[in-house]
Chains A and B, each alone.
Chain A
Amino acid sequence: MTDVRIAGVGLTKFGASPERTGRDLFAEAGLDALDDAGVDQDDVEALFYGNFMGELAEHQGHQGPLMAEAVGVDAPATRYEAACASSGVAVAEAVKNIRNGERDVVLVGGAERMTNLGTAGATEALAIAADDLWEVKAGMTFPGAYALMANAYFSEYGGDREDLAAIAVKNHENAVPNEKAQYQREISIEDVVEAPMVAEPLGLYDSCPISDGASALVLTSEAYAEEHDLDASVAVTGTGQGGDLMALHDRDFLARSPAADEAATEAYADAGISADDVEVAEVHDCFTIAEVLAMESLGLFEVGEGISAARDGKTTREGELPVNLSGGLKAKGHPVGATGASQLAEMASLLRGDHPNSEYVEGATTGVTHNAGGTVASAVVHVLEVVA
């Protein structure tokens, strides 16, 4: 089985650019990834593309071929949709495609245009990732769903709003030097705790912003990378995907994310590593509580102990296990269809040593990315390692 190399990465700046079309966003990220890889677009054999709300935001379905055209790739193109895990799933499929020998060069990524919908419109669009009949019709929003999980977590394991606020503060601090991040500014615990409520106990600063943006990776087989003398030192060595029941109320656990447990177990086994080997992580912190659930599912902290990790300094950039050095969804932004692949782009840069925060993980060889869809009814985990 071939290693799958990350030959190039590309990201637009995440933020509010309501006038920019999805095709323009993805073209920028895709072309940057091709340039970073030094791979000719004629060598790309397929596009795997993630997008969630294109029909609602741009009245645009059938986005695969549109995005291939935008980036100048004449190859089969397919869109993957798994809510906020859309491009994480696209990466997982691309990795398998290269591993099974089907293709040697694949462009994978995602894009989302959201801010043109406004806050109410984006809230409505995001809500369709939940069970429409039994959750959305009962007034549930996405922040509301994570708030239900946060309160369930507090009841079961303890913790409070200040524990969660420490996560937001940490991720904002990490985003300051990241030019791709939506919010390059620090915030305080007081800012978080005193911010307007979205869905109690989650306030405005517990929540990721509404964002526009795109991400792309050029993935190649090991043979192609060697043959073309590519500078592709980081490989995707493990991939895993898990699933759960759609509605939160039908799950066994209200304060855990078993789909991500499954994804992590599968990805670690695939890579031949354990949680103890992980030196740095990019996780799906769409809300502060989500980072806690993610870290516990990844086995980086025991169940019930992830809540205090940021407050105790364990996951800060100077800590023993930095989490979300990119700024995370919280501060880097969350153009949902772009997020999963963007996590791998950030992690590859961190491990290659060319990320503005690489100094905090100098010498690190193993990182994980965790991408969740819905209230973690979909989860994708990837293991990235320095192999050359």
Chain B
Amino acid sequence: MSDDETYDAGYDDWLDAVEDGEAYYLEGPDGDGWLPPRRVDPATGSRELTEKQLPETGEVETFTVVHVPTPAFEKDAPFATAIARFGPARITGIVEADPDDVSVGMDVAVGVMETETTGDRAVVFRPK
């Protein structure tokens, strides 16, 4: 871990859940999916959000290969960052693969990695 020991309730709880194989998303009344922490569904304004199990497989919708990172990822670059859709929820994560092997439409599973630069936890997509 880096010096930043702040625990972000909701976010870190979600990473814990992913590490335990219990990834989830928050579903709004119209079936939209979101990541925590949230008290309101942005799509409807409803306060009725329900925890649902995140589908095991997501699909990469877009990605980029980051060559100039922020200092917190200095030793990790270059790496591919992608937005992947898991059912109704989309997630941003680092793809654990050679950037040349990443493509739109590829299937991935969500996980948690420790970054090389700081040892902090980060959302990772593992090709399936």
Interface string of A156-177 (1 = CB under 8 A from B): 0000000000000000000000
Residue of A nearest to B85 (CB): A249
CB of B69 within 8 Å of the partner chain: yes
CB of B83 within 8 Å of the partner chain: yes
Residue of A nearest to B77 (CB): A139
CB of B18 within 8 Å of the partner chain: no
**Total chain B interface residues with beta-carbon distance under 8 A:** 37
Identify which of residues 47-78 in chain B touch chain A, using a CB-to-CB cut-off of 8 Å: 61-74, 76
CB of B21 within 8 Å of the partner chain: no
Report the bound CA distance from A196 to B122 in whole Å. 26
> Do A196 and B67 touch (CB < 8 A)?
yes
> Do B68 and A119 touch (CB < 8 A)?
yes
Identify which of residues 110-158 in chain A touch chain B, using a CB-to-CB cut-off of 8 Å: 119-121, 123-124, 127, 133-141, 143-144, 147-152, 155
> Do A140 and B81 touch (CB < 8 A)?
yes
Residue of A nearest to B67 (CB): A197
CB of B24 within 8 Å of the partner chain: no
CB of A83 within 8 Å of the partner chain: no
Chain A residues contacting B83 (CB-CB under 8 Å) are 148, 248-249, 254
The answer, among A120, A134, A135, A148, for a CB contact under 8 Å with B64, is A148
Q: Kindly provide the distance from the CB of A5 to the nearest chain B CB, expressed in whole angstroms.
A: 39
User: What band does the interface of chain A fall in when counting residues whose beta carbon is under 8 Å from B?
Assistant: 35 or more
Report the bound CA distance from A203 to B121 in whole Å. 28
The answer, among A144, A150, A201, A249, for a CB contact under 8 Å with B91, is A249
From B71, B83, B91, residue with most partner A Cβ within 10 Å: B83
The answer, among B61, B74, B122, for a CB contact under 8 Å with A137, is B122
> Do B70 and A151 touch (CB < 8 A)?
no
Chain A residues contacting B72 (CB-CB under 8 Å) are 124
Residue of B nearest to A126 (CB): B70
> Do A124 and B71 touch (CB < 8 A)?
yes
Interface string of B77-89 (1 = CB under 8 A from A): 0010111000000
Q: Kindly provide the distance from the CB of A27 to the nearest chain B CB, expressed in whole angstroms.
A: 32
The answer, among B35, B68, B82, for a CB contact under 8 Å with A134, is B35
Known contacts A136-B70, A248-B92; is A144 also within 8 Å of B104 by CB? no
Chain A residues contacting B94 (CB-CB under 8 Å) are 138-139
Known contacts A139-B76, A249-B92; is A152 also within 8 Å of B35 by CB? no
Binding site for A on B (CB under 8 A): 8, 10-11, 34-35, 42, 61-74, 76, 79, 81-83, 90-94, 99, 104, 115, 120-123
Binding site for B on A (CB under 8 A): 119-121, 123-124, 127, 133-141, 143-144, 147-152, 155, 196-202, 245, 247-250, 254
